[in-house]
Amino acid sequence: QVQLVESGGGLVQPGGSLRLSCAASGNQIRFYTLDWYRQAPGKQRAMVASIDSSGNTDYVDSVKGRFTISRDNGKKTMYLQMNNLKPEDTAVYYCHAHWLNNDDWGQGTQVTVSS
């Protein structure tokens, strides 16, 4: 089991950028697949981006070309660089880590895109 703490959310204007961070505990984090999910008001939580232990990445179509997921295993931290943000990106963003029978979530960080 790992503990996950997100940071970096906030209020940004359309077209702006934010970088989210997810700090993880535990010495085996390098084996985990790490994901960013988001949940907008009235909607289900959905995956935004994923990065596996080999560094392979995957994105939902709506963020391709705008968001970049990365990880630094030495710092036990995952990042989500979000550029050209749109109002529809407004949501609580959650960090998720999974490996074998382990499945852990952070508490989330709010991202609001509004003028």
Tens digit of each residue's pLDDT (9 = 90 or more) over 54-76: 999 999 999 999 999 999 999 99
68 close to 3: Cβ distance less than 8 angstroms: no
Per-residue pLDDT band at 26 (split at 50, 70, 90): confident
Whole-number Å distance between alpha carbons of 3 and 104? 7
Share of the chain above pLDDT 90, in %: 97
Whole-number Å distance between alpha carbons of 64 and 67? 6
Per-residue pLDDT band at 1 (split at 50, 70, 90): confident
Q: How much is the pLDDT for 95? A: 98
